[in-house]
Chain A
Amino acid sequence: MTSPRTSFAEPTRFAKAGPWIGLAVLAVALLVIAPLALSPFRLGLLAKYLCYAIAAVGIGLAWGRGGMLVLGQGMYFGLGGYAMAMHLKLADAGPNGIPDFMLLYADGQMPLWWEPFRSPLVTLAAIVLVPGLLATILGLAIFKRRIKGAYFAILSQALTAAFALLLIGQVKTTGGYNGLNNFRGFFGYSLYDPANKKMLYLIAAGVLLLSLALVAHLQRSRFGELLIATRDAEERVRFLGQDPAFPKLLAYVVAAVLAAVGGALYVPIVGIISPDDVGVVASIGLIAGVALGGRASLFGPALGAIAVGYAESTLSERFAGSWTYFQGALFIVVLLLLPGGLSSVLAKAREAAGGRRLRRVHAEAGEVAAV
């Protein structure tokens, strides 16, 4: 049986092992070096960037590999975040079992849909299942009707805009503009204890490494090849008897769940989730790191998200307003001059240095199709 692969050289052993070597290096850097080298404050900031990075890994799969510009990941980030925040609020609640802000804004009556989030297990399940189910339903509706390209991007953006508005409007149950904040504990551990903060960082780092491993595996599977084929020539995939809706749906759902997990970790690490973390601007902000690092590469999105997060904190600390200019310029420069992101520069440099046998792998990973 001839597979399309026969026309290319088989990936070398090094190229096959590449992601796992990279993962190992990243694991050492995140789990060993960073906790030793960084102050507790900086480590806390890094933990926050890791949450963005987890969401970015999913965006890389959906956008870089699948060609779907997911502009609404803030919605899934928020679903995960608010689910976690609701549980933390309930766990912190006083003897009457009602979260403090509800006594402040409303008459102290808790709506029924808050009740399940008392249970830690239900909360953890909801963080994965609610966004996963929503993404499946939306994805089926969108991809089966062959809504794609700009239509898809605008639709996903509109959904996240609607979600943010909904959160703002329902002050009594969601905390409105201020969101949910002021958490004291995390599954029984005090959030004021530095040791527990370090534990949260390590959890975030572990989750990021796991999501990278998951996506690395998906990228190399037959699904990953089908996804790229769908990105580059959807009609051809259809003519060959495959349903392009399936790979797109799977990538979209994985991206949604990863964003939700990132959001859920964001809550105890940062201590607040508000409509600002969810809306249109936040959603596009998640894209910035992915574009910078290289949307179609494995590590690019995560590293890009960390870099953008770092740049944001550093620049906004120094001069107010300069971050906005910088972020704007970043979008313009990267997408205009470097659509493959920084990882494409790296790939080109290595290729120029003579690593010709890697070309196939890079052609697969680095090139961005005209969508």
Chain B
Amino acid sequence: METVVAQVFTGLSSASVLLLVAIGLTLTFGQMGVINMAHGEFLMAGSYTAFVTASILRGSALSLPVALVVGFLIGGLLGIALEATILRWMYDRPLDTLLVTFGVGLILQQLARDIFGAPAKEVSTPTWLSGTVPILGYGFPVTRLFIIALSALCVAGLFAMLRLTDLGRRIRATVANRDLAESLGISTRRTDRTTFFIGSGLAGVAGVALTLLGSTGPTVGTSYIVEAFLVVVVGGIGQLKGTILAALGIGIGRSFLESWTSGSMAQVLMLLAIVAFLQIRPQGIFTTTTRSLA
């Protein structure tokens, strides 16, 4: 029982990071059809933001909150830069954006390697997050609880934004039917850019959160991006609820598989399970029914 609780909990916390990465992807993928492979490098940028803030605000309790805010801004600005310089010319060729953004990712990785060096960097955990909290007879690390809470907060905020604000209504309208939204006076260009900012910013936040779990290196993004895309595909493209379910399922499922076999085998089995799942539901958990053929 105790180990089951521990595994669910560990799975939940890694699922939370995955969810933060994937939810930004599902926004941009769902709305613009853009497949942004550089999203993983936005996460990396967030991780290095945490490293830099921690070394500037040496040991201050404020370094983590500051890093979260700055990480969001840096991720978001990188996203906007990418959208404004490259992606805006490629909306009619969504599949090609995958390769272009992979190229951008390569350059960002090498930049990180040149600036910070290839070895992984360690960010020390703030003292107020160290220690464990006993729940159900098991000591939970506070860092992991913090990540779960952070992810829940971000997702709840996103939901509220999409449901309650004007911007959210514009985004939902653009996702549902771009042409109709435009004819109703919504500037889909501006909406696209805002969506890109938010989605990429969330990757930055995920990067900051990741430093609480382990060290960070130039290729930290590549290890997340493939899995995050699978979460998006399994959840159903552009479906926030599906993304949440898929992230939780994949994160917790992997944590259980890892307890039975080795880490790499668990990942292989998870991927095969996903391929099998897509056989049953090729469009993901949730789908928008349309009459279009594509």
CB A87 to nearest CB in B, in angstroms, measures: 24
- B107 contacts across to A, CB distance below 8 A: 324-325, 328-329, 332
Q: Is the CB of A145 within 8 A of B103?
A: no
Question: Which B residue's beta carbon lies closest to that of A279?
Answer: B222
CB B85 to nearest CB in A, in angstroms, measures: 9
Q: Is the CB of A291 within 8 A of B99?
A: yes
Known: A150-B35, A151-B278. Is A161-B271 also a contact (CB below 8 A)?
yes
Choice from A71, A169, A284 contacting B262 with Cβ under 8 Å: A169
B110 within 8 A of A: yes
Q: Interface size for chain A: under 10, 10 to 19, 20 to 34, or 35 or more residues?
A: 35 or more
Q: Tally chain B residues at the interface, Cβ within 8 Å.
A: 45
- A166 contacts across to B, CB distance below 8 A: 264-265, 268
Q: Is the CB of A321 within 8 A of B103?
A: no
A162 within 8 A of B: yes
A34 within 8 A of B: no
Choice from B103, B233, B263, B265 contacting A151 with Cβ under 8 Å: B233
- A235 contacts across to B, CB distance below 8 A: 293-294
Report how far A179 CA is from B233 CA in the complex, Å.
31
Report how far A151 CA is from B232 CA in the complex, Å.
10
Q: Is the CB of A329 within 8 A of B226?
A: no
A213 within 8 A of B: no
Q: Is the CB of B98 within 8 A of A153?
A: yes
The A-contacting residues of B in range 240-273, CB under 8 angstroms, are 262-265, 267-268, 271-272
Name which of B89-97, B123-131, B163-171, B190-198 contacts chain A: B89-97
A259 within 8 A of B: no
B114 within 8 A of A: yes
Question: Which A residue's beta carbon lies closest to that of B109?
Answer: A324
- A37 contacts across to B, CB distance below 8 A: none
- A325 contacts across to B, CB distance below 8 A: 106-107, 110
A255 within 8 A of B: no
- A154 contacts across to B, CB distance below 8 A: 35, 226, 229-230, 233
Known: A145-B282, A336-B89. Is A321-B113 also a contact (CB below 8 A)?
yes
B51 within 8 A of A: no
**Interface 1/0s, chain B 218-231, versus A by CB < 8 A?**
00001000100110
CB B196 to nearest CB in A, in angstroms, measures: 17
B274 within 8 A of A: yes
- B229 contacts across to A, CB distance below 8 A: 154, 157-158
Q: Is the CB of B282 within 8 A of A329?
A: no
Choice from A151, A327, A336 contacting B106 with Cβ under 8 Å: A327
CB A67 to nearest CB in B, in angstroms, measures: 8
Q: Is the CB of A328 within 8 A of B35?
A: no
CB B81 to nearest CB in A, in angstroms, measures: 13
- B93 contacts across to A, CB distance below 8 A: 339, 368, 370-371
- B222 contacts across to A, CB distance below 8 A: 280-281
CB A337 to nearest CB in B, in angstroms, measures: 9
Q: Is the CB of B271 within 8 A of A158?
A: yes
Q: Is the CB of A157 within 8 A of B226?
A: yes
> Which of A151, A153, A291, A371 has the most chain B CB atoms closer than 10 A to its own CB?
A151
Report how far A158 CA is from B293 CA in the complex, Å.
26
- B282 contacts across to A, CB distance below 8 A: 145-147, 151
The A-contacting residues of B in range 71-119, CB under 8 angstroms, are 86, 89-90, 92-96, 98-100, 102-107, 109-110, 113-114
B279 within 8 A of A: yes
A124 within 8 A of B: no
The B-contacting residues of A in range 129-146, CB under 8 angstroms, are 141, 145-146
Q: Is the CB of A155 within 8 A of B233?
A: yes
A69 within 8 A of B: yes
Report how far A157 CA is from B99 CA in the complex, Å.
12
- B48 contacts across to A, CB distance below 8 A: none
A126 within 8 A of B: no
A150-B94, A159-B275 known; 20 other A-B pairs, CB under 8 Å? A69-B99, A141-B279, A145-B278, A149-B95, A150-B98, A153-B35, A153-B95, A155-B278, A158-B229, A161-B226, A162-B268, A169-B268, A284-B99, A321-B114, A324-B106, A324-B107, A329-B103, A332-B103, A335-B99, A336-B100
Instruction: Offer 24 A-B interface pairs, CB within 8 angstroms, sorted by A.
Output: A69-B95, A69-B99, A141-B279, A145-B278, A150-B29, A150-B35, A150-B94, A150-B95, A155-B278, A158-B226, A158-B271, A159-B275, A166-B264, A169-B264, A287-B99, A324-B106, A327-B106, A329-B103, A331-B99, A335-B99, A336-B89, A336-B90, A339-B93, A368-B93
What residues of chain B have their CB less than 8 Å away from a CB belonging to chain A?
A: 29, 33, 35, 86, 89-90, 92-96, 98-100, 102-107, 109-110, 113-114, 222, 226, 229-230, 233, 237, 262-265, 267-268, 271-272, 274-275, 278-279, 282, 293-294
What residues of chain A have their CB less than 8 Å away from a CB belonging to chain B?
A: 69, 71, 141, 145-147, 149-151, 153-155, 157-159, 161-162, 165-166, 168-169, 235, 280-281, 284, 287, 291, 321, 324-325, 327-332, 335-336, 339, 368, 370-371
